[in-house]
Amino acid sequence: MQVIVLGGTLTEAEQDSYIRQAAKVYPVSIIEKLFLQVREDRVDVRCDLHQFRSMRKMGGYCIGEPSSWNLAKQAELRDTIPNSIDF
């Protein structure tokens, strides 16, 4: 995680405290950047979360995100019928 302090300085202990607080707010997310804007009497906290890409598998191969495919491959995905699993 990258910690960016703007508008002032914070000690390592203060930064660690804000890191722990952000981790409590986003327990299942990966925080890429933590922005700490130092004001006169407070610190504003903003964070950028990691964006997971959607990967698809067709024909036994991982072929990336559907948004990056050509029109024919996107049509093939729409026409695909998922296999049902019976237990």
pLDDT tens by residue, 74-87: 888 788 777 666 66
Are 44 and 60 found together in one domain? no
Among candidates 25, 23, 28, which has minimal Cα distance to 3?
A: 23
Are 45 and 63 found together in one domain? no
How many other CB atoms are found less than 10 A from the CB of residue 36? 21
Are 57 and 30 found together in one domain? no
pTM over 0.75: no
pLDDT tens digits, residue range 3-40?
999 999 899 999 999 999 999 988 888 888 999 999 98
Q: Is residue 70 part of a domain?
A: yes
Q: Is residue 86 part of a domain?
A: no
